[in-house]
Structure 1
Amino acid sequence: MRMTEVGLIPYAPLTAKQSNYIIRCRDSWLNVAEGGKRAGKNIINLIAYAMCLEVHPDKLHLVFGVSLGAAKMNVIDSNGFGLQWLFAGRCREGEYKNRDALYIQTKTGEKIVIIAGGGKANDAARIKGNSYGTVYGTEVNECHKSFVQEVFDRTISSSFRQLFFDLNPKPPSHWFYKDVLDHQDENKKRGENEGYNYEHFTLFDNLSIPNDRLKAVLVTYDKASLWYQADILGKRTAATGRIYTGYNSKDVVRTRDDVKDYKYIKFSIGVDIGGTDATVATLTGFTPKYKDVVLLDGYYHKQGKESGYTHDRYAKEIVVKIVEWGRTYPAFFACAHIFCESADKLFRQALSNELKRNGIYISVVPSYKKEGIVDRIRLTEILINQGRYKIIHHLKPWIEAIENATWDDKKKQEGEWVRTDDGSYPVDCLDSSEYAVQPFKPRLEV
């Protein structure tokens, strides 16, 4: 038991996973604890961080959160397990050059731990001018990208560079994964990054929660929901601000065997042309009486400034898929339609020409946008809620897009309903599939 200002706190033993993570922290330059809520990530990381601070040769260090208050709450206090408690009797709060700080007496001398908020772009300016020996960032993926980048830069000259991050999951394409963790993962696979220490923790790793209480809590969650996947299992998916709140993988995602007996009265292809983003074509089938909408297959190419294709190449590759679909579905050419990005007339012409060269006479029609994007979104949402929207399981980017689509929070506060389009999920898959479905809205009777 331990006495704090809030009373007696019972200790719980560490698991082997938690202990091994802490041990690896001693020699690792980047330590990342990710996972679900109430998984003990913060406490485990703080124990490891305090151990490293105790013997680190440098004097100046940094801890941060999305705000100054969050940093103090999660790192300095942390419900009785923060730095001020781990170093109780040999630390004091104060200021360092007009910055909030914690002064700690350690085996290797006094340490000054600056406390900062990093949720805004201009917060990076508040940590410039210093070099830091170690850094602890709580909920690091909530912080601004420019701030986190500055954190990495400010530790380059450390005597022993060590960074500690804890985070709850975000959508798989969030910038922190793309710019930081994915790169570290790839280096580690090649054996080039032995100092990278990553561990995933969940509620089930937290032995301070008794089994009977854990079972009682889990009963209150729908285990197939994205909420459960994100908050309890700690998977990288959007659980808040989502657009398609009625989505459930067990009702939407289907195998080919699940739909092998489906008949289709209409096929529709929606094509979205990316500039420096993805180019996508989605094959959609409609069952008799337009009862169900099934995303059957697709073409997806993620380009960048250096890897984009010409219109002619995209046209050829999409037509290759169209030929394949014609062989797969006997009635395809008799009832297929193509709806292509209305803003790109040149590509529509290139696609029309390529179709004719292959003896395929399907008109390429501009995508229908008269009712606006919100109407397209609402149509998909209604179909999902009615259990009429299906996606074949191999269409991973399309599934990721449906699962992680969110409303732009800033725009929503201004009274506008705008879908987030910041590269955090493959939104082009949504545009493409919507182009295929929207023209048939009257027949879908929603």
Structure 2
Amino acid sequence: MMTEAALIPYAPFNQKQASYIARSKDAWLNVAEGGKRAGKNIINLIAYAMCLEVHPDKLHLVAGVSLAAAKMNAIDSNGFGLQHLFAGRCREGEYKNRDALYIQTKTGEKVVIIAGGGKANDAARIKGNSYGTVYITEVNECHQSFVQEVFDRTLASSFRQLFFDLNPKPPSHWFYRDILDYQDELLKLGENTGYNYEHFTVFDNLSIPNDRLKTTLSTYDKGSLWYQADILGKRTAATGRIYTGYTKPGVVVTRKDIKDFRYIEFSIGIDIGGTDATVATLTGFTPRYKDVILLDGYYHKQGKESGYTHDRYAKEVVNKIVEWSETYPAFLSCAHIFAESADKLFRQALANELRRRGIHIQVVPAYKKEGIVDRIRLTNVLINQGRYKVMAHLKHWIEAIENATWDENERQKGEWVRTDDGSYPVDCLDSSEYAVQPFKKRLEV
């Protein structure tokens, strides 16, 4: 008699999924990233179970942002978790007062400790042990100190293997910055043969029939960041976003798109970043102040150990100003410069450099009287009215608009504060706002 489970129609792996699982056998770092309902978790669990089956070490770790999340996404996983993959030869229990799954494998009994990693002090709960392998589901939702402790706790493994699955975050999120970006760079140089990365989307999930998928996806705005993040699995912010009216087709333009545009005024906003980025944004205003266009920019991010002097920055910014004056014939007769109000020394250095080169543009302190929220509101209104454009080559500026979010902790206190944690180039927003804000009344918003 056939069991109910035997009647369930299981979808086969596609080539990408099968290749990822095969590579995991020899890889030390396995990362499945991508959109929602892409099958990342199940694919990774199957790969992880295969490695557990033959691993020589006894103690292992499975984690999530919380203990409950770890159990739901890795131990159960809607019938595809470890307790089902090892059905008939595993049992739940405790190991030194920690939740655990005991598994009988070809190489002996394995003890898989289950833990939550969303809080800073969660790292302390996995200390004292050395783990052979680790699986973390939704790894970039876990606390940075916990993930770093996981790397350290597997250093003595007989065969170190880490498995992570994650939905995308903004591209400058610490997990990319501190872990994946470095591995990607080594991979490009051909120096890392133990890094197994794959990007999955719902289109890889063969358990969803094509007609149903097509019908479901027709309900999404293909140009929205929501679609970019959740469906295409791109690294962008989709929750808590500030510029909710932004769409790439509606804002990002090429020279071909604006070849017939004329400009009645130019404005340069400059933000001095100290140990962060220094940014200058060239903005053009079309007749009757109909459209605002971010035409070009200067971006330099210096390190904490070394940086440019005010004189060096002044020279580089003026180099760009000379370039812009050659590109736009009317530039010098109708250009304004609004520089960081808190840095008087830079403004003086810039004024001196302009004077030395015979360029007569006054350097004015950036206008901040009405506050950052008013500047944000102005940009939002212009975007929503279809009057705010950004040239396609300004990658940092586009990244900043796409990923700008409200600080959730401050929002819960009743304050509207833009997130400024290094997860995206927020200095580009400050710089462009300095260029636009002085013209608020003329823009009639």
Which bin holds the TM-score, normalised by the shorter protein?
A: over 0.9
Q: CA separation in 2, counterparts of 1:129 and 1:345? A: 53
SS at match of 2:183: helix
Q: Which residue of 1 aligns with 2:409?
A: 410
CA–CA separation in structure 2 for the residues paired with 1:117 and 1:10: 33
Letter in 2 for 1:143: C
Q: 2:152 matched to which residue of 1? A: 153
Partners of 2:392 and 2:192 lie apart in 1 by 34
- Tell me the residue number matched to 1:107: 106
Cα displacement string for residues 153-199 of structure 1 (whole angstroms, at most 9, x for unaligned residues): 00000000000000001111111111101100111111111010000
Question: Partner residue of 2:374?
Answer: 375
SS of 2:359 mapped into structure 1: coil
Q: Percent identity?
A: 84
1:401 touches 1:426 (CA, 8 Å); kept in 2? yes
Q: SS of the counterpart of 2:283?
A: strand
| Distance in 1 (alpha carbons) for counterparts of 2:391 and 2:113 | 51
The amino acid across from 1:99 in the alignment is R
Q: What are the Cα deviations for residues 254-312 of structure 1, in whole angstroms up to 9, with x where unaligned?
A: 00111111111110000000111100000000011111000000000011112411100
Deviations 1:310-353 (A, max 9, x none): 10000000000001111111111111110001110110100000
Inter-CA distance 338–53: structure 2 relative to 1 (3 Å threshold): same
Aligned to 1:137: 136
- Counterparts of 1:29-108 in structure 2, within 5 Å, are 29-108=28-107
Residue 9 of structure 1 deviates from its aligned partner by 4.3
Equivalent residue pairs, number: 444
SS at structure 1 position matched to 2:325:
helix
Answer whether contact 1:2 1:10 (CA < 8 A) is retained: no
Structure 2 vs 1, CA of residues 152 and 3 (structure 1 numbering), >3 Å: closer, same or farther?
A: farther
Q: Residue 124 of structure 1 aligns to a residue in which SS? A: helix
Q: Which residue of 2 aligns with 1:215?
A: 214
SS in 2 for 1:285: strand
Normalising by the residue count of structure 1, what TM-score does the alignment of the two structures yield?
A: 0.98
The aligned amino acid for 1:421 is D
User: Which residue of the partner structure matches residue 257 of structure 2?
Assistant: 258
Deviation at 1:10, TM superposition (A): 2.9
| Structure 2 unpaired stretches of 5+ | none
**What SS does structure 2 have at the residue aligned with 1:209?**
coil
Matched, 1:18 2:17: yes
Q: For 2:386, what is the secondary structure of its paired residue?
A: coil
1:303 aligned partner: 302
Deviation at 1:2, TM superposition (A): 7.5
Q: Distance in 2 between matches of 1:306 and 1:360?
A: 33
Residue 206 in structure 1 maps to residue 205 in structure 2: yes
Alpha-carbon spacing, 1:108–1:335, altered in 2? closer, same or farther (3 Å): same
1:387 aligns with 2:386: yes
Question: What's 2:291 paired with?
Answer: 292
Three-state SS of the structure 2 residue aligned to 1:294 is strand
- Secondary structure at 2:110 match in 1: strand
Amino acid of the residue matched to residue 147 of structure 1?
A: F
Secondary structure, in 3 states, of the residue corresponding to 2:150? helix
RMSD: 1.1
State the shift of 1:252 in Å: 0.5
Distance 2:84 2:366 in 1: 61
